[in-house]
Structure 1
Amino acid sequence: MNGPAATPSAPWLMALSALRDRALAAESLNALAFSIVNDPHPLLRYYQGLAFDLAGLRPRLRAVSGLAMPEEASPYLVWLEGASRWLAQQVPGEEPVLLSRDTLAVPDTLREGWAEWWPAYVWCVPLHARDGARLGLIVFLFEDAPDPALLAQLQPVRTTWAYCWQALAGPRRRRWWPNHKQRWIAAAIVLAILLLPVRQTALAPAEIVSRNSEVISAPLDGVIAELQVRPNQRVRAGQTLLRLDETTLRNRAEVLRRQVAVADAELMAASQSAFDNPQSKSELLLLTGRSQQQRAELAAVEAQLQRTEVTAPRDGVAVFSDPNDWIGRPVNTGERIMQVADPAQPAMLIQLPAADAIALERGSQVTLFLSAYPLRPLRGRILETSYQARPSDENVVSYRLLASIEDAPAHARLGLHGTAKVYGGRVVLGYYLLRRPIAALRGWSGL
């Protein structure tokens, strides 16, 4: 390659000045990288120019000569990612280095790519900040060895490139990495924090119920004809709560009365003719049994008619859903319809999911945050816990917990919902944080 004389000529100096002017005129780092890899070509006559940004954790390709925007998915750029890291290691200082493929021990992963995409000579120009931190790496590819004198005369331009690169890149963030002693201290601090004793807690949905309540269920199969109370209405002992439809039972009772009358008439006729007719005397026992059977069936139906009216067994509050959901609805014997609860004895009914269950004892503390009164929590203690977990109304397998409410404040109304926080024993912070992951890992691995 033919280069200028040892003393640069006027055209050569003007070309260097133009390179510096274009670098100073760049408005962004990408524009500067594009100028660096393209503008020196009339002077150096290189095969290809590449600009890498070394500010991040790995080199980033900023520009390729002759291309406006390199394609990220091309095999060449995938190979360049590994080649750029290796080239950065071959330039230990701040001075440019000319590398030759024939004199280097190229790694096996890069040798085939170099032979396919690169010529024999690579001139690596590192760009450094004023504090010595490396900012970027400029790579020029030559098919023939360039003149060292020509490359040396580009030193002012390289200085300008580094200055502009630092100015456009902005302040460089220094990555801090702890030394061996600092890592041991940090590990000791983390271990000490993980060994701190904390209170084990769990969150679960909860509802305010009464500790003293009685379930009102359907006394027999039928259809609800009327509800005589409203939800949350106060009731007195003996007050009528609901009535079942009596139409079917009254019709059946009327039919049975007529059957009883017919049976009585047949029995009387058989009794009168039994003195003269031996055959009527033999039928007398059968007719007597049939009459008694009809009377027993009538008595049973009349007893059911008396049970169609359900009354309150005690004073309290009627707790049930919308009355329109019950009127006209068929019910089976024993089906729960409502509760009569004592509002003066509220309690917390907690559905603790089995996945969040912790070791709880009778008397453990509970705090309930009501959705209607989030700033006025209720406090209490666990009174009883279920032995087995069963699906809740939300179809979540949960343990049933019943907890007291201290002082029974006025806003602790039956039916209010919220989130309860139950407190278990004290454990170390590490166990508190890793309990769920460990349980999930054991459930997945079976260890």
Structure 2
Amino acid sequence: MTMNERIVQPQALLSLIALRDRALQAESLNALAFSMANDLYPVLHFHQALVFAQRGEALELLCVSGLSKPSEDSPYLVWLRRASRWVASQLPDQQPHWLARDAVEPPAEIAEGWAEWWPAGLWCVPLQRHDGQRLGLLLFLLEQPPAEGLQQALSGLWQTWAYCWAALTRQRRLRRWWPSRRQALLALAVAGALLLIPVRQTALAPAEIVSHQAQIISSPIDGVVERMQVRPNQPVEAGTPLFSLNETTLRSRAEVLSKEVAVADAELMAASQRAFDNPQSKGELTLLNGRALQRRAELAAVEAQLKRTQVLSPRAGVAVFSDPNDWLGKPVVTGERILLVADPAQPVMLIQLPVADAIALEPGAAVTLFLTAYPLQPLKGEILETSYQAKASDDGVVAYRLLASVEGKPEHARLGLHGTAKLYGERVLLGYYLLRRPLAALRAWTGW
């Protein structure tokens, strides 16, 4: 029985009607593509059916017969992307077209894949809208072209599939909601009203727990640190030795000056004795007396420096510095900072507010500190003092230095802990709060 004879049978016509009904019942483009790739097999007996969607100049593979979901990284599908573009370029019009392997000259890479994966020919069926825009492309892998009668009988099915495809894609576009003019104006009015809501202006800045009563201990003279007599964070009392400087140079200088004092005293005594018999020696007494006093003053100055080589704590507190080994044998100059003696019972927040995040703050403004070590136990406080001049911090960020109190006496407010402080300024409009930094950048860029 020939193909033409089989297609005119009532049972075959009922199969085509069933395919049309199934296409009209499809709820999505993927469901329609699955039906197109698989349900026509009893009529065409193809090796494989491929369904492509037109995406601009490219083709997207939607379905392969016999597969629920094609694997995109398989060698066959990688080759198929290139082959589909070449096949689409071979269609002269929007009508179904038969491509035989012996009648065309594909590129070498396409011909090699065709010989490996495809049969002798392709039946290419383009689908388009009523205005001629192509929606997709069907490829049926066959050994010979369908009979003329079968092609005419299937033309109605192609139109049904194209109509359903266009309807499903149009339905998907219509799902996008566009507000009406009234709704847009209402939304703008609501947004404008929200921008007028007063809110508290806030800013975030890094902060550290320091002591409100901390005294800097610096080197009293030029010298070399010989020994650190306390450990970091060690409690000290008033008069506790903190560190000492090397005394070798000063003691040698003191011994030399003591000898010079003895020589000056001896010269002064000899001149005094000669003054009784020699009137010329009386004129030397004043010079020798001044020289003796000079040597004694120099010796007294060196002895005073020797007393200052041992540095004592001026008050009770905690010795705050990094590592004793960083200071041993290090030359220091007069006034160079070596450590701090801080009172741990009076903690405060030292806040470095970057210039880019600065807001108007006055003493008494509220502050909340979230410590990194205790994120669930924030510290409350108020601004005590602010700096009017921004300086570069240790991180290289230009920031204002703020000092804030710590309410109560929390146990976890230990010196040296770091965290993030939230600063609360005055109430401003929500629009100003959101647009403050963009407006500042715009004015700086435009100069207006």
Confirm or deny a common fold (TM above 0.5). Answer: yes
1:136 paired with 2:135, answer yes
Q: Write the distance in 2 (CA, Å) between the matches of 1:434 and 1:323.
A: 50
- The answer for the alignment partner of 2:420 in structure 1 is 419
* Cα displacement (A) at 1:184: 1.3
- The answer for the alignment partner of 2:256 in structure 1 is 255
Any idea what SS the aligned residue of 2:425 has? strand
Gaps of 5+ in 1: 1-8, 36-50, 72-76, 81-95, 99-123, 129-133, 139-149
* Paired residue type of 2:238: A
- The answer for the alignment partner of 2:239 in structure 1 is 238
- The answer for the alignment partner of 1:268 in structure 2 is 269
Residues 431, 97 of structure 1: alpha-carbon distance in 2 compared, 3 angstrom cutoff? farther
Q: Write the distance in 1 (CA, Å) between the matches of 2:424 and 2:243.
A: 42
1:126 paired with 2:125, answer no
* Paired residue type of 1:313: P
* Cα displacement (A) at 1:197: 1.6
What root-mean-square deviation, in Å, do the aligned CA atoms of Structure 1 and Structure 2 show? 4.5
- The answer for the alignment partner of 2:409 in structure 1 is 408
Q: Write the distance in 1 (CA, Å) between the matches of 2:436 and 2:410.
A: 36
Residues 272, 156 of structure 1: alpha-carbon distance in 2 compared, 3 angstrom cutoff? same
* Paired residue type of 1:217: S
* Paired residue type of 1:428: L
* Paired residue type of 2:440: A
Any idea what SS the aligned residue of 2:194 has? helix
* Contact 1:52-1:59 within 8 A present in 2 as well: no
* Paired residue type of 1:271: S
Gaps of 5+ in 2: 24-28, 38-51, 62-78, 96-125, 138-150
* Contact 1:363-1:383 within 8 A present in 2 as well: yes
* Contact 1:214-1:340 within 8 A present in 2 as well: yes
Any idea what SS the aligned residue of 2:413 has? coil
Q: Write the distance in 1 (CA, Å) between the matches of 2:261 and 2:407.
A: 62
- The answer for the alignment partner of 1:371 in structure 2 is 372
- The answer for the alignment partner of 1:39 in structure 2 is none
Q: Write the distance in 2 (CA, Å) between the matches of 1:190 and 1:235.
A: 61
Q: Write the distance in 2 (CA, Å) between the matches of 1:264 and 1:243.
A: 34
Residues 60, 175 of structure 1: alpha-carbon distance in 2 compared, 3 angstrom cutoff? farther
* Cα displacement (A) at 1:135: 9.2
**TM-score, structure 2 length as denominator?**
0.68
* Cα displacement (A) at 1:282: 3.1
After superposition, give the CA deviation of every residue in 1:44-87 in whole Å (9 maximum; x if it has no partner).
Answer: xxxxxxx8647xxx786559xxx95469xxxxx9xx9xxxxxxx
- Aligned 1:361-400 pairs, distance under 5 A: 361-400=362-401
* Paired residue type of 1:126: Q
After superposition, give the CA deviation of every residue in 1:358-412 in whole Å (9 maximum; x if it has no partner).
Answer: 0001100000111111110000000110121111122211111111110021111
* Cα displacement (A) at 1:12: 10
- Aligned 1:180-199 pairs, distance under 5 A: 180-199=181-200
* Paired residue type of 2:400: Y
* Contact 2:272-2:285 within 8 A present in 1 as well: yes
* Contact 2:127-2:158 within 8 A present in 1 as well: no
* Cα displacement (A) at 1:160: 3.1
Residues 442, 10 of structure 1: alpha-carbon distance in 2 compared, 3 angstrom cutoff? farther
Q: Write the distance in 2 (CA, Å) between the matches of 1:398 and 1:186.
A: 40
* Cα displacement (A) at 1:441: 2.5
Any idea what SS the aligned residue of 1:156 has? helix
* Paired residue type of 2:429: V
Q: Write the distance in 2 (CA, Å) between the matches of 1:282 and 1:345.
A: 66
* Contact 1:207-1:417 within 8 A present in 2 as well: yes
* Paired residue type of 2:381: G
**TM-score, structure 1 length as denominator?**
0.68
1:438 paired with 2:448, answer no
* Paired residue type of 1:436: R
Any idea what SS the aligned residue of 1:154 has? helix
* Paired residue type of 1:354: V
- The answer for the alignment partner of 1:359 in structure 2 is 360
Q: Judge which range, 271-280 or 415-424, deviates more.
A: 271-280
* Cα displacement (A) at 1:273: 2.1
* Cα displacement (A) at 1:334: 1.1
* Paired residue type of 1:368: L
After superposition, give the CA deviation of every residue in 1:195-223 in whole Å (9 maximum; x if it has no partner).
Answer: 22211111111111111222111111111
* Cα displacement (A) at 1:442: 2.4
* Contact 1:367-1:378 within 8 A present in 2 as well: yes
